[in-house]
Amino acid sequence: MSWSLDGRPLRKILITRLRYLGDIVMATAVVDLLKRGDPELDIGFLCEEAYAPALIDHDALDRLHVLGTGGTGATHRNRPVVLEPDRPRQEGWLGTVLALRRERYDLAVDLFFNPRSAWLLRCAGIPLRITGRHNRRARLYTHVAELPADPGFRSLAPGGLGEHVARLAPLSHVETGLPMMDWLASHGGIVGPRLVVSDSARASAAESLAGAGVKPGPFILLAPGATWEAKSWPADRWRALIDMLEGGGVRTVVLNPPGADRLLEAALRDAPGTRLPPLPLSTVFGVIAAARSVVTVDGGVMHAAVALKRPTVALFGPTDPTIWFPYDHLGIHRVLATRPHCHPCDLHSCDDWICMPGLEVTDVITALTKILFGGEV
């Protein structure tokens, strides 16, 4: 047992991040970090059913707890989910509590700490529970671990990755005798998120690509779907990008989002290249893994592309890429952001929308050329 908390050895740890695909993908860095310090550590993960396909085949997890939801929240309304053909087993609230009790976890690390996850962990009777916020719900936890003030921490765990890893600050590494953050520094910091794509997901992706007329060979995947209106890139820019790439002999595949976007639909109706229908999440991962590179906006597909080690061009508008694209250290990705005077605003929609329209098609082409060939257009 290599990890401890307050001198108590930890043999089984539960990580929980209930929702939001990008955050769940980033949370895999936490899982891998714990395993790096103790390969024998037993790790479980709790998430909502829509995001379970991201983790169900992950080789660093010993089990996955899937919380069933009614699908009535804003995320479900804004981004419909295509159901998996073989859905992972899910539990309701009470079933989840009982399942967690049966596993007898020593520690729960809550990366979401909303009311639902706070009460779930408390009712599950897990003796040690870490949250990341000092608020009224903090009384439902045993430890609060906020972001370290040390600026050196950001070089070890940048941006949103650091927000997740910071929850582990109270832990100590038994063999070395080092507190978590000192152990992290001595081991070169974190690498990044990592996803595992099953053979069945790859086969499903190959079938979907073949069914759409995509022959074997390299292609660039374009993923224009954005949960927020302000995060989207104008539809005519996507069309111009496709025309320019296809005109230069570069094959493109567009991953259609599950939600209807009439402007995008109209712009791409007679575009060259291939458009895929909305796909189950596991199949999406298989398509991403098959791509030569990915161009996408700030969102879950972006994080998944990085976690699958696909060279990625990320288009950013109202959000801060230093937080939500902490992948510069990985070396094969590029972020494009205009950063106007009002940036970052984090607005879901904007009457004076200038950030994303400020990104030009030639900027994307140049970034693609750099990450794929190391040169200029």
pLDDT of residue 82: 62
Instruction: Determine the Cα–Cα distance for residues 336 and 361; give it in Å rounded to an integer.
Output: 11
Query: Given CA atoms 211, 278, 310, 248 in this order, what sign does their dihedral have?
Result: positive
Range of the domain at 225: 199-373
Same domain for 7 and 148? yes
Instruction: Determine the Cα–Cα distance for residues 66 and 90; give it in Å rounded to an integer.
Output: 5
Same domain for 344 and 234? yes
59-86 burial, b at 16+ Cβ within 10 Å, e below that, comes to: ebbeebbbbebeeeeebeeebebeebee
203-214 burial, b at 16+ Cβ within 10 Å, e below that, comes to: ebbbebbeeeeb
Q: Is residue 72 part of a domain?
A: yes
Same domain for 181 and 204? no
pLDDT of residue 72: 47
Q: How far is CA 370 from CA 162, 180, 293, 301, 376, in A?
A: 27, 37, 12, 21, 6
Same domain for 239 and 362? yes
Of the residues 186, 207, 229, which one is the last residue of a structural domain?
Answer: 186
Instruction: Please count the structural domains in the chain.
Output: 2
Q: Is residue 194 part of a domain?
A: no
Same domain for 19 and 138? yes
pLDDT of residue 81: 54
Q: Per-residue pLDDT tens, the chain, 377 aa: give them.
A: 799 999 999 999 999 999 999 999 999 999 999 999 999 999 999 999 999 999 999 999 999 999 987 554 444 444 455 656 666 667 888 999 999 999 999 999 999 889 999 999 999 999 999 998 878 889 999 999 988 878 788 888 899 999 999 999 999 999 999 999 999 999 888 879 999 999 999 999 999 999 999 999 999 999 998 888 999 999 999 999 999 999 999 999 999 887 767 888 889 989 999 999 999 999 999 999 999 999 999 999 999 999 999 999 999 999 999 999 999 888 899 999 999 999 999 999 998 899 999 999 999 999 999 998 874 43
Q: Is residue 126 part of a domain?
A: yes
Same domain for 134 and 220? no
Of the residues 128, 162, 186, which one is the last residue of a structural domain?
Answer: 186
Residue ranges with strand state E in the chain: 3-5, 8-10, 12-16, 42-48, 63-67, 107-110, 128-131, 143-144, 172-173, 178-179, 220-223, 252-255, 274-276, 293-297, 312-316, 333-337
Same domain for 177 and 210? no
Same domain for 41 and 178? yes
Same domain for 280 and 150? no
Burial class (CB in 10 A: 0-12, 13-18, 19+), 9: exposed
Q: Is residue 294 part of a domain?
A: yes
pLDDT of residue 35: 96
CATH code, domain carrying 134: 3.40.50.2000
Instruction: Determine the Cα–Cα distance for residues 68 and 134; give it in Å rounded to an integer.
Output: 28
